[in-house]
Copies of this chain bind each other. A is one copy, B any other.
Amino acid sequence: MSQHNNAFNQKKKAILDEINSLQPDLSPKGTIDELCLPIMHLINSHDDMVTTSSCSGRISVFAEGSKMHNGLQKVGGKGEGGKWLFVSHDNNNVIGWLETISKEGINFVETNIDDSTNHLDGGNRFILYKYEPFILHVKCRDFEMASKLYNVAMACGFRESGIGSNNLVAIRINIKLDVPIGYIDENTNDLKLFVPKDYILLLDRLTLSKFEENSRKMQELYDRIRVEIIEVPKSESSKVETKEERRERKMREGLAKQRIAQEQKMRNLSIEKEIID
């Protein structure tokens, strides 16, 4: 076995030891999202892949920090001192989050959009309501493995996936909400809500459907990785491809192409050439 392969094996072992230990991991939350465990275990059961970071999908409410930096306004930056007012990976916590954080002393003041908000532009510190989907990073032993995983993910609709320069596959999908719901009054530090609370409830219901869509896509990805990567007997991968296998591979590759074409269509990208060869 080459030195390169040994390095991958060692790294994989260290990562698995960490996953299996009861120690908190490197994330602020300190634990792996439970909903990620099945797909992580599946992927890690393959000799040539190891998961390195993950999020199962979440609702978050983020208060942007100060955008002043060295006396210059940093429009759009997350800023110094931004903070999460609420984060949850559990769809059971969605309805009622506003009341929950109120009890913890974080209070929103309802404001009408009027003269006081009419001056707001992108330079203000906004409060953002977000839904962010499942994301998973998988380190692969070689480019061939990375490429196979990438293709399976793309074929499932994880169209924002990509391979890094070091065989690290990022699996991403575009199931998002990104809504400014208020701002921070610079004079009083009040959290001002410029949408009615009923609109928040509507966002919450929409978020529930995003959680649902997200978990359906995670399941689809799980199933395909199982069938197309994990359960392929080792002997088969070195065998000459049968007619049937070739048909299936072509179908899979075709699906990946379709998904990319779909992305182009949804964005109305200016397309010089079919981007797949």
Contact = CB atoms under 8 A, between A and B. Distances in A.
Contact of A269 (B18, B54, B122, B143): B54
Nearest to A144: B165
B113 A27 contact: no
Contacts of A195: 195, 199
Interface string A123-138: 1001000001001010
Interface of A: 11, 14-15, 18-19, 25-29, 31-33, 36, 51-55, 58, 75-76, 78, 87, 113-114, 117-118, 120-123, 126, 132, 135, 137, 139, 143, 147, 150-151, 154, 160-166, 168, 170, 172, 175-180, 194-196, 198-199, 201-203, 205-206, 208-210, 212-213, 260, 264-277
Contact of A54 (B87, B118, B164, B270): B270
Copies of this chain, how many?
2
Nearest to A74: B213
Nearest to A200: B113
Contacts of A203: 180
A202 B268 contact: no
